[in-house]
Structure formats: C-alpha cells, structure tokens
Amino acid sequence: MGVEFTKEDHVAYITLNRPDAMNSLDPESVTKLAEIWAAVQNDDDIRVSVLTGAGEKSFCTGTDMKKTPPPAECMASIWLREGQPIVPHMKMWKPIICAINGYAVGGGMEMALACDLRIASSNAKFGLTEVKVASLAGLNGTQCMPRAIPQAVAMKMLLTGEMIDAKEAHRVGLISDVVEPGELMDLAKKLALRIASNAPLSVKAAKQAAVMGLEMPLEHGIAFSHLLWGVLRDTEDRKEGFTAFAEKRAPEWKGR
Ligand SMILES: CC(C)(COP(=O)(O)OP(=O)(O)OC[C@H]1O[C@@H](n2cnc3c(N)ncnc32)[C@H](O)[C@@H]1OP(=O)(O)O)[C@@H](O)C(=O)NCCC(=O)NCCSC(=O)/C(=C/c1ccccc1)CC(=O)O
C-alpha cells in the first residue's frame, strides 16, 4: 500500500510506503494521503500525528516523476478548490511531527515544512530540488523555507536545488533534533505522547496562535492570543487541569 495509517494512544502514525521509489508520491498515494488527513482531522480521539517514510533511505522525494499522468482537469478548477490535498498546512490545528528518515526532497521537503516539528535521522538530506527538473517548489517551499531558516540559506537551497545534510539542517534550525536512524521513531513517539498528554484544546490553540500569529503584526498576534486564552478560560478541561494540579493527580481531558 502507498500510504499506511495506524492509531494508538491518541496518536496517528502515517507512513509513506513506497521504499523502492524512495517514497515518492504517485497519484494513488496523493489520493490516499488526502483521505488520511481528512480522517485525522475528523477523529476527535486523535490529538497528534507522526508523518514518516518506510525504510531508512528516504522520507519522500516528492512527486513520482515516472507516474505523473497528464492533467485530469484544468488548472483553474484545481486552483480555485479549497485547500491543498497533501499538505494540510494552516488547516490542521492538531500538531504534526515529521520524522525524516532519509531524503526529504522536492514535494517531500515541502510536506516536512508543513509540519510543526521536524526531527531527522543522521543520514537525512534535505533539498528543494524542483528547479533541477523544470518545476517549482510550489506547494509551499518558496514561502515556508525562507520563513523556516535564515533567508540566505533558504535562497541558496531554492535557487541551486542543492541538498544539505542533517548536521547543517540542525545548525540552521530546519530540524529540532538529529538522532541515529534506529532511534528516530522512538523519539517521534516520545514527543507525540508528550504532546498527546497535554490538554487537546490548549495544544490546538497554541498551534493556531503561533501559526496565524506569525503572519500578524506583534500587537495583533498578542490580541489574538489573548482572545484564544479567553476561549479556553471557561472550558471543563481548564478547571480539570487546575483541580488535578491541586489534588496532585494526573488530569483527565475531555476536549471541552
Ligand atoms: C533522492 C535521490 C538523490 C536518491 O538518489 P539514489 O541514487 O540514492 O537513488 P535512486 O537510484 O535515484 O532512487 C531509487 C529508485 O527510486 C526512484 N525515485 C526516486 N525518487 C523518485 C521520484 N521523485 N519519482 C520517481 N522515482 C523516484 C529512482 O528512479 C530509482 O528507481 P529505479 O531506477 O530503481 O527503478 C534521487 O532519487 C533523486 O534525485 N530523486 C528525485 C528527487 C526530485 O527531483 N524530486 C522532486 C520531484 S518534483 C516535485 O516534488 C514537485 C512537487 C510539487 C510542487 C508543487 C505542486 C505539486 C507538487 C514538483 C512537480 O510535481 O512539478
């Protein structure tokens, strides 16, 4: 199967599973991935997702360039449709951890950029290589890379199409952690469970405030964040969080 999906302890695990083709995205995988993101979005039991690739060579090398069919519909109808199917950026307030187990290239790099946490194995390589194949990092790469890392490094990656290794990616802040390949999923799971143990509405609000606030002047961002705090103030979970603290016990979240 092109993409696998499992769920455990409030965490969705999504695995791109075409290792022989470096987990590149063929049309079936794109459809499947869109269905999975919709399922994650609609399942209140899921609080956080981990996105990774099968094997130890590659997370994802973007579009499957050998299986890209001629366009099935005109660009206008695609462009004017709501949302992007494979990159849930800005539409998904549940956090996504990208566990990059090798190449994150082209559309694969862009999917990683749409995630909230990026962790990688020491053999990972990162590149927006679309210029090498007469295309464009048009999912989000031209916009998100210069926002994710220093502009000079982002422009070098965008214009040369050259890759950087995990050490350099860590140095410039493209990823938060580098571990040995065998340790990557353990770390992803540990982070996911830590996030899933927090109050689900607070986690979503924190992501919404941070992501949307980035595009606002600071004063507006702070006002928006205060509003979100007010939205959370009267939830059952906030009362439960404070009571559990006072009673020295673990809280039980209801998500309301
Ligand atoms: C990543 C590599 C440098 C690895 O090289 P290596 O020598 O280690 O391995 P290979 O022998 O090259 O690969 C093994 C096997 O996998 C096949 N493979 C790898 N990547 C792809 C791919 N993207 N499509 C199809 N097949 C792929 C490879 O052919 C081998 O098969 P075999 O010969 O064994 O049958 C190297 O693999 C590499 O450079 N890959 C290509 C990376 C790349 O250029 N990616 C960008 C693709 S374009 C894109 O992602 C776009 C995204 C997008 C943007 C905007 C809107 C929508 C989408 C642009 C677009 O679609 O236009």
Sheet holding 11-16, edge to edge: 3-8, 11-16, 48-53, 96-100, 117-121, 177-179
- CA distances in angstroms from 122 to 59, 136, 174, 186, listed in the order given: 13, 27, 14, 14
Output the CA 64–ligand 1 centroid distance in Å.
Answer: 6
User: Residue whose CA is closest, atom 8 of ligand 1?
Assistant: 57
Report d(CA 67, CA 256) in Å as an integer. 45
- Is 110 annotated as catalytic? yes
Beta strands in 92-251 (DSSP E): 96-100, 103-105, 117-121, 125-127, 164-165, 177-179
Higher-pLDDT residue of 205 and 68 is 205
Number of H helices, E strands in the chain: 10, 10
Rounded-to-integer distance, Cα 6 and Cα 230, Å? 34
Query: Complex ipTM, two decimals?
Result: 0.98
pLDDT score at 85: 58
Over residues 27-56, the pLDDT tens digits come to 999 999 989 999 999 999 999 999 999 999
Nearest CA to ligand 1 atom 38: 61
Q: Which of 20, 33, 64, 65 to mutate to test the pocket of ligand 1 (most atoms within 8 A of CB)?
A: 65
Q: Which of 16, 17, 18, 22 to mutate to test the pocket of ligand 1 (most atoms within 8 A of CB)?
A: 22
The atom of ligand 1 lying closest to the CA of 63 is 50
Whether residue 130 lies in the annotated active site: yes
pLDDT in the model for residue 81: 76
The pTM of this model reads 0.95
**135 CB near ligand 1 (under 6 Å):** yes
Q: For the chain, give the percent of residues with pLDDT over 70.
A: 96
Asked if 53 and 16 count as a contact pair (C-beta separation under 8 A), the reply is yes
- Among 73, 82, 110, 236, which one carries the catalytic annotation? 110
Taking only the tens place, the pLDDT of each residue in 128-171 is: 999 999 999 999 999 999 999 999 999 999 999 999 999 999 99
Which domains are assigned to the chain? 3-196 (3.90.226.10), 200-247 (1.10.12.10)
Question: How much is the pLDDT for 73?
Answer: 85
In angstroms, the CA 20 to CA 54 distance is 10
